Amino acid sequence: MDTSVPVWGVDVGGTTTKALRLDAAGAVLDERRAPTTGPDPDGTLVTATVARLLDGRDPREPVGVVVPGIVDDEAGVARWSANLGFRDAPLLRHLTDRLRGPVAFGHDVRAGALAEAADGAAAGVEGPVVFLPVGTGIAAATLVDGRPVVSEGWAGEVGQLVLPGGRCAGHRVEEVGSAAALARRAGEPDALSVARRVEAGDPDARALWDDAVEALAVATAALVVSVAPTVVVLGGGLSRSGRLLLDPLGDALAALVPGLRVPRLVTASHGDLAAARGAAVLARRADARTSPDGGDGALR
């Protein structure tokens, strides 16, 4: 493998598809965006969008593509997606047929976790790492020994957990704790606008904020008692509110897991480029795996 070759990381989001071209040190050489078109049950529209976005790419430069939803990495299939409408879409096959050169395929949140662990907020961390992006929806990825827990794509769906108590009992974590839910409930265009109202002392905004924090604490507590991460990296729109989120979340979490080791809560380093950067990590690994000179052991 020639590690000096640039790689491409492509993040297929619900509304926008982003492509990054990165050099071996992770510096951005090129950044491109295009609207995502859907619904796309079998993945052909997404494949066409990715191919157009990479127009003119040198086929020696490996590509990683990541998508949201229930993704079976090993099979290379996007089983299901609310936003994009995937239904067992064989995306790795489509992408390999359409693009020349090495192609990798995976899941956006797990890729984001790899990026944050590689050179982001969880770089050099010992023990399990959780990446928890809080944006339109909520899902988590857990790395154990640096490898994501996948379970055919079903692991980490903490946003779907029903809250068994509190003001929002009966609702799913995602319906209360996501950036989108918070904005919608407050009648604001985005979660940062809600954060500004909280900082200004608005009691209605504070109540909704507390609901979101409580929902996120329930989701994080589920991860703590299951895999005991040493660090939880919060990403997505809500993480940009920083300590306004982290401080009450740490308190609410500690109250839910008395006597246990509470993980360090940090905000993501790579912002909304974490998934694309993680897709590039997958591209390098896939290239290492398929190259005649073996590989660099990055799959450990």
Q: Does 162 bind its own copies (CB under 8 A)?
A: yes
Q: Does 291 bind its own copies (CB under 8 A)?
A: no
CA 4 to chain centroid, in Å, comes to 26
Q: Does 225 bind its own copies (CB under 8 A)?
A: yes
Q: Does 164 bind its own copies (CB under 8 A)?
A: yes
The smaller minimum CB distance to its own copies, of residues 54 and 233, is found at 233
List, in sequence order, every residue forming a beta bridge with 35; answer none if it has no partner.
16
Q: Does 140 bind its own copies (CB under 8 A)?
A: yes
List, in sequence order, every residue forming a beta bridge with 133; answer none if it has no partner.
235
Q: Which of 152, 204, 247, 251 binds its own copies (CB under 8 A)?
A: 152
Give me the residue label for tokens 């990541």: 66
Hey, which bits of the chain come out as E strands?
7-12, 16-22, 28-35, 63-67, 70-72, 77-80, 87-89, 103-107, 129-133, 141-144, 147-148, 231-235, 264-267
Q: Does 227 bind its own copies (CB under 8 A)?
A: yes
Q: Does 260 bind its own copies (CB under 8 A)?
A: yes
Q: Does 75 bind its own copies (CB under 8 A)?
A: no
Q: Tell me, what amino acid is at 256? A: L
| Interface stretch with its own copies, choices 95-103, 177-185, 213-221, 280-288 (CB under 8 A) | 213-221
Q: Does 161 bind its own copies (CB under 8 A)?
A: yes
Residue among 79, 4, 94, 7 at smallest CA distance from 44: 94
Q: Which of 44, 83, 193, 230 binds its own copies (CB under 8 A)?
A: 230
The conformational region for residue 57 under phi > 0 = left, psi -120 to 50 = alpha, else beta, is beta
Instruction: Establish whether the linkage from the previous residue to 39 is cis, with ω within 30° of 0.
Output: yes
Residues numbered 168 to 187 that lie near its own copies (CB under 8 A) are 169, 172
Tokens representing 83 are 């936003």
**Do residues 257 and 154 make contact, with C-beta atoms less than 8 angstroms apart?**
no
Q: Does 158 bind its own copies (CB under 8 A)?
A: yes
The smaller minimum CB distance to its own copies, of residues 195 and 234, is found at 234
| Interface stretch with its own copies, choices 112-120, 137-145, 269-277, 282-290 (CB under 8 A) | 137-145
Q: Which of 166, 248, 271, 295 binds its own copies (CB under 8 A)?
A: 166
**Do residues 66 and 113 make contact, with C-beta atoms less than 8 angstroms apart?**
no
**Cα gap 32→13, rounded to integer Å:** 13
Query: Radius of gyration of the chain from Cα atoms?
Result: 19
Shortest distance (Å) from residue 294 CB to its own copies: 20
Q: Does 256 bind its own copies (CB under 8 A)?
A: yes
Tokens representing 151 are 């379970």
Shortest distance (Å) from residue 54 CB to its own copies: 32
Q: Does 128 bind its own copies (CB under 8 A)?
A: yes
Q: Does 212 bind its own copies (CB under 8 A)?
A: no
- 181-186: long-range contacts (C-beta < 8 A, 24 or more apart)? 181/212, 182/208, 182/209, 182/212, 182/238, 185/211
Shortest distance (Å) from residue 158 CB to its own copies: 5
Q: What is the contact surface with its own copies in residues (CB under 8 A)?
A: 127-128, 140, 142, 144, 149, 151-152, 154-158, 160-166, 169, 172, 214, 218-219, 221-223, 225-230, 255-261
